[in-house]
Structure 1
Amino acid sequence: MATIKMAYGRASLTLLIPDKNILNEIGCASSDPTTSGERVLSEALKSFDTDLVSNRRVTVLCDDYTRPTPRAEIFKALFPKLSTARAVDLVISTGTHAAKTPGNDDIIETAEKAAKSAGLRAIESFVHDVNGSGFIHAGQTSQGTQVRYNRVLDRAEIFIVISDMKPHYFAGYSNPIKHFLPGCCDFSAVENNHSMALDPKSSFGRHPLHPDPERQNNPLALDQLEAMGLIVGDRSVYAVHLITNEGQIMDAMFGEIFNTLPEMFRRVDGYFGETVEPADIAIVTPGGFPDDESLYTSQRALELTAAGVKTDGRVLFFSACENGIGTAKAKQNFYDRLVLPLADVLKTIEEEYVLYAHKAYKFALMIQKLKTLAIKSEIAPEILAAAHLTPIENPQQILNTWLAEKPDATINIFHHANKLAIYEKAKS
């Protein structure tokens, strides 16, 4: 009998599972305990030539508080390299997330302390607000996105993006390009871009800059790439690329993004990509807080592991959701869509896409495929049941029931599933 701990919110829950039923237990690769994140960063930043930023205004882009990026460690390593810059702007690229939050305030405080310690001449901090004003129109992409971006980006002479990379279920990968669109664009630009998530080719493991030509077709990621080009013009974009797990830095690289992204995509595939045989049951955790802070956020873990469960199979999902469904707009266009009959969910979104609806669309497709999608959550059971989910109080009890019905059922277990990329093994 295997004792399996599943991350849940800010704690964990335990399952007892017969060894004979377990097909795979997969999580993210662990960091080397003999190598510190500080050393990994130091090695990556050896290629940083301070002449790159000398007497220039540098804009550093970083993600917001909803991402568990080890920012203090990164600021400490990066900011001394910027000491010759004329000025430094820090922009938190929130996309459509809330701008004014205690978490984002903490990021600014951390950055300003690190800047002072590094002896930077000046640093100004900005939080992108999708509901703000002062957007500049950069033009239109080939796929029709009108690119309007935060005017603070026009202050930059060179960009450095702090990018915690992982598979992304429709943009291919979380990567530096996403810090421009959706990171610093207006609502309409993000909405048009994300409408392309309904295209099956807009999926994880695919990106126009992927080194494998067979994996370069991703319409949504291409739109983001074109948008970045319109925003930055002839200015250079560099990145501190990171691969992390549980806040630990496992790998890093610094360089101009077009020169480094193909290699970083290859590395992400190596750390997080797995090919498996689909099982009768998949047990999935996004990885605890903040990756299961809301149902809107945690749903990506199901998308990234969907290939690990058979059609008409069952999923046991651990997602505490301490922030409930998500923001008010996410609830309106994600949850409120999902309570419709599943056929209507798909039909209405195909007829008219609105931002956040891609989540409902993909969720509906998955629910249709499964016999049961059971969820352990702090969200009220009636709210979950209305969205075609099966709320459960006791995960062990439901698993025991499933195994009693089919004693030889196979099980795939996925930890930190918000970072995994699960592919189905080809049938022999």
Structure 2
Amino acid sequence: MNTVEMKYGKEKISINLEGAKSVSILNERPMDEIKDLKKAFKKGITTEVINSKPLNEIINEDDKVTIVISDLTRFWQRQDLICEQLVNYLIGELKVKHENIVVVVALGSHRKQSEEELCKLASKSVYDKVKIVNHDCDADDLVNVGTTPSGTEVYVNPLVVGRKVIMITGTVHHIMAGFGGGRKSIIPGVAGRQTIRQNHIQSLSKTEKRSDPLVGARLLTHNPINEDMNEAAKFIDVAFGINIVVNSSSKHSKLICGDFHDAWLKSCKYVDDAYGLRIKKEADIVIASCGGYPKDINLYQSTKSLFNATRAVKKGGALILLAECSEGGGAPDFFNWIDPLKRGVLDEELRASFTIGGYIFYAACESISKCNVYMLSSIDPDMVKDMKITASSNIEDLLNKINCKNKDIYVIPYGGNVVPLLEED
């Protein structure tokens, strides 16, 4: 295989790998795709529930019901289609009054969604029937439901207290919590800002200037972020969980429903079986695409591909990341941390003023330190040089820097999806 074609922005780039010792393509395993969503949803909440009664034995017609869904940054899971099925079922079959149903968008500390966005997130049908609200992590009426063993004071939206709560979440690998979805809809989803900070700062080692080694994609056992989230979730009486898994085309592959924790754990295994790809050894060179626009719209969005791709390259090897970054570095909460990096105080300042975007920047710098990172990008090369990234808008320039001759190369067409797993680990 001399040439590979990969997505870059809204285009495709051909890359000549002539002379390489070996070229292996790393793709996720083929996944099922739901053909009849209504049928799959009905099975998921009735005959195929995990460690739970079916939904119709949990919700009564006089209950006040809160449905929690994710915000626009996670719209890839298309929870609007599931939310529509759920509300139709609650009102049409269980006879729950529409005025007793409220949909809460689990923003965490993200920006408020517009009315147009709320309609998109929950579906027009749901928007026209029931109340839809943004969570506000700085609201005055947040409820203190307890303190976790690690000391996180858990303040949550009052709409998830004293009501029947149904969580709709999407499960993916996650750089901090091991896997997204499930209990992440509580922290950070519907939690207070200080609660989020107290939980997320546990991603940093207590004894060294580095991330806690127990924090990372796939890691659940002893992961302090995950375990603290699980403890916080115990304070919320979640009646039912609906976990969405999608394929790389954002088509629904599986709905795993039932007990909030147990059904989510099963969805994690399903995700890992599909996207966790075992490799026998690390390669000399890894060439990874984010999957094109909008996955490579900025550097912040591109970091997931960076994290995954560096797992597959030898220490001191080379990574070429295809990330156009048409909007530059991304949100200020991410890229403004370049200044403390330049001053050599990134660790100290992040611990003093922890933010999620800041930690993603911090973790990106850690991943980059493993190998030589080159980025095919429209970003200004001077913007990323202090991160130890060599950027160019010309693929030939980058290929000339790494020399593919007699090298083992991995090609990852969808870097944000595939999580390479070294067999010896």
TM-score range, shorter chain: 0.7 to 0.9
> Match of 2:67, as an amino acid?
V
1:398 aligned residue: 398
Q: 2:273 aligns with which of 266, 270, 274?
A: 270
CA shift at 1:58, angstroms?
1.8
CA shift at 1:60, angstroms?
1.5
CA shift at 1:386, angstroms?
3.5
Q: 1:301 aligns with which of 286, 300, 305?
A: 305
CA contact (8 A) 1:140 1:147 kept: yes
Structure 1 stretch displaced more, 55-64 or 22-31: 22-31
Q: Does 1:223 align with 2:228?
A: yes
Q: Distance in 1 between matches of 2:121 and 2:187?
A: 25
Q: Does 1:113 align with 2:124?
A: yes
**Are residues 94 and 285 of structure 1, via their aligned partners in 2, closer, same or farther at CA, if it must alter by over 3 Å?**
farther
1:367 aligned residue: 368
Q: Show the 5 A alignment for 1:55-134.
A: 55=61, 56-67=63-74, 68-83=76-91, 84-86=95-97, 87-101=100-114, 105-109=116-120, 111-115=122-126, 122-134=129-141
Q: Distance in 1 between matches of 2:110 and 2:134?
A: 10
For 1:144, what is the secondary structure of its paired residue? coil
CA contact (8 A) 1:79 1:114 kept: no
**Are residues 351 and 62 of structure 1, via their aligned partners in 2, closer, same or farther at CA, if it must alter by over 3 Å?**
closer
CA contact (8 A) 2:245 2:271 kept: no
CA shift at 1:227, angstroms?
1.5
Q: Distance in 2 between matches of 1:191 and 1:377?
A: 32
Structure 1 stretch displaced more, 290-299 or 166-175: 290-299
Q: 1:319 aligns with which of 323, 329, 345?
A: 323
Q: Show the 5 A alignment for 1:274-423.
A: 274-276=277-279, 277-332=281-336, 334-341=337-344, 344-346=345-347, 348=348, 352=352, 354-355=354-355, 356-370=357-371, 372-403=372-403, 406-423=404-421
Q: Distance in 1 between matches of 2:5 and 2:341?
A: 30
Structure 1 stretch displaced more, 190-199 or 35-44: 35-44
CA shift at 1:27, angstroms?
2.5
> Match of 1:272, as an amino acid?
Y
CA contact (8 A) 2:286 2:320 kept: yes
Q: Distance in 1 between matches of 2:289 and 2:40?
A: 28
CA shift at 1:65, angstroms?
1.2
Q: Does 1:167 align with 2:205?
A: no
Q: Percent identity?
A: 20
**Are residues 316 and 45 of structure 1, via their aligned partners in 2, closer, same or farther at CA, if it must alter by over 3 Å?**
same
**Are residues 302 and 32 of structure 1, via their aligned partners in 2, closer, same or farther at CA, if it must alter by over 3 Å?**
same
**Are residues 42 and 323 of structure 1, via their aligned partners in 2, closer, same or farther at CA, if it must alter by over 3 Å?**
farther
Q: 1:188 aligns with which of 154, 177, 194?
A: 194
CA contact (8 A) 1:325 1:335 kept: no
CA shift at 1:250, angstroms?
1.5
Q: Distance in 1 between matches of 2:328 and 2:401?
A: 28
CA shift at 1:35, angstroms?
4.2
Q: 1:236 aligns with which of 236, 239, 256?
A: 239
For 2:159, what is the secondary structure of its paired residue? helix
| Aligned-CA RMSD value | 2.8
TM-score under structure 2 normalisation? 0.85
TM-score under structure 1 normalisation? 0.84
2:50 aligned residue: none
- 1:31-64 alpha-carbon deviations (Å, 9 max, x no partner): 4479455654454344353342222222221211
Q: Distance in 2 between matches of 1:33 and 1:258?
A: 24
For 2:311, what is the secondary structure of its paired residue? helix
CA shift at 1:23, angstroms?
4.1
Q: Distance in 2 between matches of 1:307 and 1:110?
A: 33
CA contact (8 A) 2:284 2:407 kept: yes
